[in-house]
């Protein structure tokens, strides 16, 4: 097997963690309508069943750091695959939940744990193996897999639901939707046993021979020797200079910068648009509730197309230019939506605004944040720093998801001069902060080895 094929296979397998991220997050959206009727849930309990996975995501991201240090990136991903499989199996058990919804919540939290662990380890693992000149593209496969996961689960739940009556869906169709995740989660679990361990983790644990063997398979003899020397120099320098004091000015500063960037990904408003965008579509195009299929296809298509744009430009133009371009696009999209709401002229312009925002996010903050986070942290602190940044991102996801409907329904938002547009102008303010933070604090990592990036902080 040649180097390119070997690398592509490793990346594809690890990116399946992203697909399951999207699949597990999306399956509840397809199933919740029927399970809510099955259990006769009120709005508060429905929100808890749908949102409980976020609690697991947060906890999973926190434990992912220590797991990654002790067991390595590969074994951590295997644990996440087991959790995905257990969650899918338990959520779809035929008779377990007839009396209580509580066990369903437990299995949703277990799935969230898997998402949290995979969302940290998968992009980091890819970054630690991929050559510097194509690393951005390789890590972007992870974001692409998330988008594909959403699209695939949408098709799967639609196919399952469309071939059953409404009564059958309420009785058992929603369980089959959860069980459909067993196919990708089982495949992920099996294939992970055939990928190598991270060479940088092996070097961190003192197994230089194994690390060099893997680097040779990916980079070839000459480049592997060079990378190995840089890795060892980096690790030895850290031993003498810093005994990993996470509260030292330098280390804490790096972690804070990465965490702020990670949190700002959610404060763009992406999940507010994805979770609560149906009303916008309904007003803009006259879509009814029965036309959710058309809405999701449109969003998924734009999301997918512009994720490909990011894949093929992130290593050519760099990380920071994509963030700048995407941020400007997101601002334009929300301005179109916000002004049309203010002027009470909701229509095609509003729809274009939403799609411009989605496309701009998909080519910038969606994939590029994962790329930068997987690259920017020094070898010795990468696991813990990624864990903190990803956990903070899940916390931010929860904050935005919970606060958006509150702001939307507030009296201030629904009176002049806002007329329903206030949240989008708040998001614009955060996007302006993204531009400033990127310009002032984020290094351009295009084409640099992880050790060269590390030297930037020194």
What's the topology of domain 1-195? Answer: Growth Hormone; Chain: A; (1.20.1250)
Checking phi first, is residue 344 left (phi over 0); if not, alpha (psi -120 to 50) or beta?
left
Q: How confident is the model at residue 277 (pLDDT cuts 50, 70, 90)?
A: low
Three-state helix/strand/coil letters over the chain: CCHHHHHHHHHHHHHHHHHHHHHHHHHHHHHHHHHHHHHCCCHHHHHHHHHHHHHHHHHHHHHHHHHHHHHCHHHHHHHHHHHHHHHHHHHCCCCCCCCCCHHHHHHHHHHHHHHHHHHHHHHHHHHHHCCCCCHHHHHHHHHHHHHHHHHHHHHHHHHHHHCCCHHHHHHHHHHHHHHCCHHHHHHHHHHHCCCCCCHHHHHHCCCHHHHHHHHHHHHCHHHHHHHHHHHHHHHHHHHHHCCCCCCCHHHHHHHHHHHHHHHHHHCCCHHHHHHHCHHHHHHHHCCCHHHHHHHHHHHHHHHHHHHHHHHCCHHHHCHHHHHHHHHHHHHHHHHHHHHHHHCCCCCHHHHHHHHHHHHHHHCCHHHHHHHHHHHHCCHHHHHHHHHHHHHHHHHHHHHHHHHHHHHHCCCCCCCCCCCCCHHHHHHHHHHHHHHHHHHHHCCCCCCCCHHHHHHHHC
Whether the per-residue pLDDT at 96 is higher than 60: the answer is no
Checking phi first, is residue 72 left (phi over 0); if not, alpha (psi -120 to 50) or beta?
left
Q: Tell me: the pLDDT tens digits for 326-338?
A: 999 999 999 999 9
- For residue 21, what are the CA distances in angstroms to 185, 211, 281, 292, 306? 10, 28, 25, 21, 19
Q: How confident is the model at residue 310 (pLDDT cuts 50, 70, 90)?
A: very high
- Asked if 1-195 and 243-458 have one fold, the answer is yes
Residue 232, pLDDT score: 85
Whether the per-residue pLDDT at 198 is higher than 70: the answer is yes
Whether the per-residue pLDDT at 161 is higher than 90: the answer is no
Residue 364, pLDDT score: 96
CATH fit for domain 243-458, picks 1.20.1250.20, 3.65.10.10, 3.40.50.2000, 3.40.50.970: 1.20.1250.20
Q: Tell me: the pLDDT tens digits for 127-157?
A: 888 888 888 888 898 888 988 888 888 788 8
Report CA dihedral (168, 172, 178, 183) to the nearest 10 degrees.
-90
Whether the per-residue pLDDT at 238 is higher than 60: the answer is no
The overall pTM is greater than 0.85: no
Residue 243, pLDDT score: 60
Domains of the chain, residue spans: 1-195, 201-241, 243-458
């Amino acid at each position: 097997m040649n180097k390119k094929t070997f690398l592509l296979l490793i990346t594809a397998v690890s990116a399946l963690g992203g697909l399951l991220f999207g699949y597990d997050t999306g399956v509840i959206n397809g199933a919740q309508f029927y399970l809510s009727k099955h259990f006769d849930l009120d709005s508060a309990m429905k929100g808890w069943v749908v949102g409980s996975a976020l609690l697991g995501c947060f906890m999973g991201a926190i434990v992912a750091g220590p797991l990654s240090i002790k067991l390595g990136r590969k074994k951590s991903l295997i644990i996440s695959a087991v959790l995905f499989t257990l969650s899918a199996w338990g959520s779809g058990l035929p008779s377990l939940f007839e009396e209580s919804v509580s066990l369903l919540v437990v299995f949703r939290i277990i799935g969230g744990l898997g998402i949290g662990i995979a969302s940290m380890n998968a992009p980091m693992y890819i970054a630690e193996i991929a050559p510097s000149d194509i690393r951005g593209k390789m890590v972007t496969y992870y974001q692409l897999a998330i988008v594909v996961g959403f699209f695939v689960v949408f098709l799967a739940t639609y196919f399952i639901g469309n071939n059953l009556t409404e009564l059958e869906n309420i009785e058992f169709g929603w369980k089959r939707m959860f069980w459909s995740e067993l196919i990708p989660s089982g495949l992920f679990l099996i294939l992970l046993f055939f990928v190598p361990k991270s060479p940088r983790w092996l070097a961190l644990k003192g197994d230089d021979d194994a690390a060099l063997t893997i680097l040779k398979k990916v980079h070839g003899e000459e480049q592997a020797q060079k990378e190995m020397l840089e890795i060892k120099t980096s690790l030895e320098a850290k031993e003498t200079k810093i005994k990993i004091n996470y509260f030292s000015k330098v280390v804490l500063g790096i972690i804070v910068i990465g965490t702020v960037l990670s949190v700002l990904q959610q404060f763009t408003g992406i999940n507010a648009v994805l979770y609560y965008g149906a009303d916008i579509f309904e007003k803009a195009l006259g879509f009814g509730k029965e036309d959710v299929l058309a809405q999701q296809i449109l969003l998924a298509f734009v999301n997918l197309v512009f994720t490909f744009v990011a894949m093929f430009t992130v290593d050519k133009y760099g990380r920071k230019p994509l963030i700048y371009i995407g941020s400007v696009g997101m601002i334009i999209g929300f301005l179109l939506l916000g002004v049309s709401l203010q002027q009470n002229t909701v229509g095609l312009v509003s729809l274009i605004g939403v799609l411009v925002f989605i496309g701009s996010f998909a080519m910038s903050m969606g994939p590029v944040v994962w790329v930068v986070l997987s690259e920017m942290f020094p070898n010795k602190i990468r696991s813990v720093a990624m864990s903190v940044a990803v956990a903070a991102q899940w916390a931010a996801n929860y904050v935005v998801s919970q606060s958006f409907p509150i702001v939307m329904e507030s009296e201030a938002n629904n009176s002049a001069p806002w007329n329903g547009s206030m949240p989008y102008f708040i998001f614009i303010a955060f996007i302006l902060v993204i531009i400033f933070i990127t310009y002032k604090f984020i290094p351009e990592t295009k084409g640099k080895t992880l050790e060269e990036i590390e030297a930037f902080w020194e």
